[in-house]
Amino acid sequence: MDFVIAFILFTFISLIIVTVIRAMLFKPVPEAASVKHELILNEEKIVSDIVEMIRCKTISYRDETLIDTSEFEKFRELLAERYPLIHKNCGLERIGKTGLLYHWKGKSHSNPSVLMAHYDVVPAEEKSWEKPAFEGIIENGEIWGRGTLDTKSTLCGIMEAAEYLIERGFVPNQDIYFSFSGEEEIDGETCADIVTELENRGIRPAMVLDEGGAIVERVFPGVDKPCALIGIAEKGSVNIEFTMQSQGGHSSTPPRHTTAGRLAKAMVEIEKHPFRFQLTKPVREMFNTLGRYSGFALRIIFANLWLFKPVLKIVSKVSGSEMYALMHTTCAITKMDGSRAFNVLPPKASFGVNLRLLGSDNMDNAKERLKRIVKDDNIRLNIVSGMNPSKCSDIDCDEWLKLKSVVKSVWPGVIVSPYLMLGCSDSRHYCRISNKVYRFSPMELSKEQRDMIHGHNERIPITALIKTVEFYANMIYEL
């Protein structure tokens, strides 16, 4: 008996010692920053260019009849007018409905890179804005307008950087493509069409860079320093409709359970059975990077995930929706439809859910799981639209290191970390032809600014925009 107690005690103490030592050794890894190229940028020109971009009302609507294609054409003409050297030196092809593919030939063609952006924007509910959304008003050093953050700023950054470098006779080491779509916000086919075109030509990009994470603060427990979050994968998304039919009839002689009632029961079951906890590679890598900058107590957990997974599971549940979404497939009931009148039994009722798929969950197995949970053969499940989670990009490669070091040179002192993007972007199409697809919007974004994306009063400080140009120029030097 004594022996058993001694053994348990010994194991317990050893475990504590091991976890504490691992936490003590769990320190930031020194990282190299490349030497920043100093540029003499013409700020006035850059600002005037983005202002004109904002003035093109390139608004995407799922209802195609609402789209004003002339505004999109105006935008494309603007690019030709504002960036004459790019248009003279780089081949431009129009692909699909709205695609623009520029090809900047480098000294070598073996390892091409792709810089992506989109020039469509979501609609703006202008009555909630303090200033007009499509005039490019400048006030207190900020440029106002829909698309200033998402993502005419990155498109402008790429174009300004390239025009600047071509003007100085610069030729990139490798081919660079600029891949711009005008229907990202409605999950249009343009980007997929561009990728198919590149695939048919046998092009395998060494690196693809699209919008995504940004330089943000206070997003990770215990870390105060600004972090550059680079998405190395993104969750999938699927819309599923649940419908049930009945005879209908008058509400004065109802069955014990109406279709609406039975669907309500299904909803309760779905909410009672959340999807399982998963620790996927991008999230593990994020913990492995940012966790090293946390306080000691948190480092004990992040350095010993093999032991503290159950703790992490609880942390993910109590620490808010973002943490939870990083480690679970989420399922939000978003739509409901039943009878139009109080006294009419619904002949057909339905509800809809939006799932954000993580890790090994995909559209089909998630639907099957929901079907099992609902346990009602009269309820039909139908996948309306969706996409599976993207592949996870490599980070043990030169391209990742290059990207990291350029970020650190432009924003000294930031921590660069991989992360999982919770939203969907066009870049997922590129996973078909590249293992190095990175999602990073090169700008500093406060919580307030992040809320402006797709929200009201979207605007960008001029200083942030200039840094975006600097980033792309420095990136192009390294490609």
Of the residues 60, 151, 304, 468, which one makes contact with Zn ion according to CB under 5 A: 151
Q: Which of 184, 210, 285, 478 is catalytic?
A: 184
Site for Zn ion in 346-375 (CB under 5 A): none
Question: Which of 34/468 has CB closer to Zn ion?
Answer: 468
Min dist CB 150 to Zn ion, Å, is 4
User: Segment contacting Zn ion (CB under 5 A): 123-131, 133-141, 143-151, 408-416?
Assistant: 143-151
Question: Which of 112/231 has CB closer to Zn ion?
Answer: 231
Min dist CB 157 to Zn ion, Å, is 14
Which residue of the chain is nearest Zn ion when measured via CB? 150
Min dist CB 121 to Zn ion, Å, is 8
Based on the residue annotation, tell me whether 184 is a catalytic residue of this protein: yes
Min dist CB 184 to Zn ion, Å, is 6
**Residue 284 phi/psi, 5° resolution?**
-60, -40
Q: Does 150 bind Zn ion (CB under 5 A)?
A: yes
Question: Which of 174/237 has CB closer to Zn ion?
Answer: 237
User: Segment contacting Zn ion (CB under 5 A): 145-153, 219-227, 334-342, 440-448?
Assistant: 145-153
User: Segment contacting Zn ion (CB under 5 A): 29-37, 149-157, 286-294, 312-320?
Assistant: 149-157
Say how far apart CA 330 and CA 358 lie, in whole Å.
8
Q: 370 with 381: CB under 8 angstroms?
A: yes
Min dist CB 412 to Zn ion, Å, is 27
Q: Are strands 91-95 and 99-104 parallel, antiparallel or unpaired?
A: antiparallel
Q: Which of 49, 120, 183, 234 is catalytic?
A: 120
Site string for Zn ion, 311-350 (x = CB under 5 A): ----------------------------------------
Q: Are strands 348-357 and 415-421 parallel, antiparallel or unpaired?
A: unpaired
Type of residue found at 271: E
Question: Which of 221/423 has CB closer to Zn ion?
Answer: 423
Question: Which of 151/258 has CB closer to Zn ion?
Answer: 151
User: Segment contacting Zn ion (CB under 5 A): 29-37, 142-150, 275-283, 469-477?
Assistant: 142-150
Question: Which of 118/408 has CB closer to Zn ion?
Answer: 118
- HEC string of the chain equals CHHHHHHHHHHHHHHHHHHHHHHHHCCCCCCCCCCCCCCCCCHHHHHHHHHHHHHCCCECCCCHHHCCHHHHHHHHHHHHHHCHHHHHHCEEEEECCCEEEEEECCCEEEEEEEEEEECCECCCCHHHCCCCCCCCCEECCEEECCCCCCCHHHHHHHHHHHHHHHHCCCCCCEEEEEEEECCCCCCCCHHHHHHHHHHHCCCCCCEEEEEEEEEECCCCCCCCCCEEEEEEEECEEEEEEEEEECCCCECCCCCCCCHHHHHHHHHHHHHHCCCCECCCHHHHHHHHHHHHHCCHHHHHHHCCHHHHHHHHHHHHHHCCHHHHHHHECEEEEEEEECCCCCCECCCEEEEEEEEEECCCCCHHHHHHHHHHHHCCCCCEEEEEEEECCCCCCCCCCHHHHHHHHHHHHHCCCCEEEEEEECCCCHHHHHHHCCCCEEEEEEEECCHHHHHHCCCCCCEEEHHHHHHHHHHHHHHHHHC
Question: Which of 216/331 has CB closer to Zn ion?
Answer: 216
User: Segment contacting Zn ion (CB under 5 A): 4-12, 133-141, 150-158, 198-206?
Assistant: 150-158
Question: Which of 151/304 has CB closer to Zn ion?
Answer: 151
Min dist CB 211 to Zn ion, Å, is 5
Say how far apart CA 398 and CA 408 lie, in whole Å.
15
Min dist CB 357 to Zn ion, Å, is 20
Q: 458 with 147: CB under 8 angstroms?
A: yes
Q: 345 with 258: CB under 8 angstroms?
A: yes
Min dist CB 58 to Zn ion, Å, is 12
Question: Which of 112/182 has CB closer to Zn ion?
Answer: 182
User: Segment contacting Zn ion (CB under 5 A): 42-50, 151-159, 361-369, 405-413?
Assistant: 151-159
Min dist CB 185 to Zn ion, Å, is 7
Site string for Zn ion, 184-223 (x = CB under 5 A): ---------------------------x------------
Number of residues that bind Zn ion (CB under 5 A): 3
The backbone region for 266, taken as left when phi is positive above 0, alpha when psi lies in -120 to 50, beta otherwise, is alpha
State the residues that interact with Zn ion by CB under 5 A: 150-151, 211
Active site residues: 120, 184
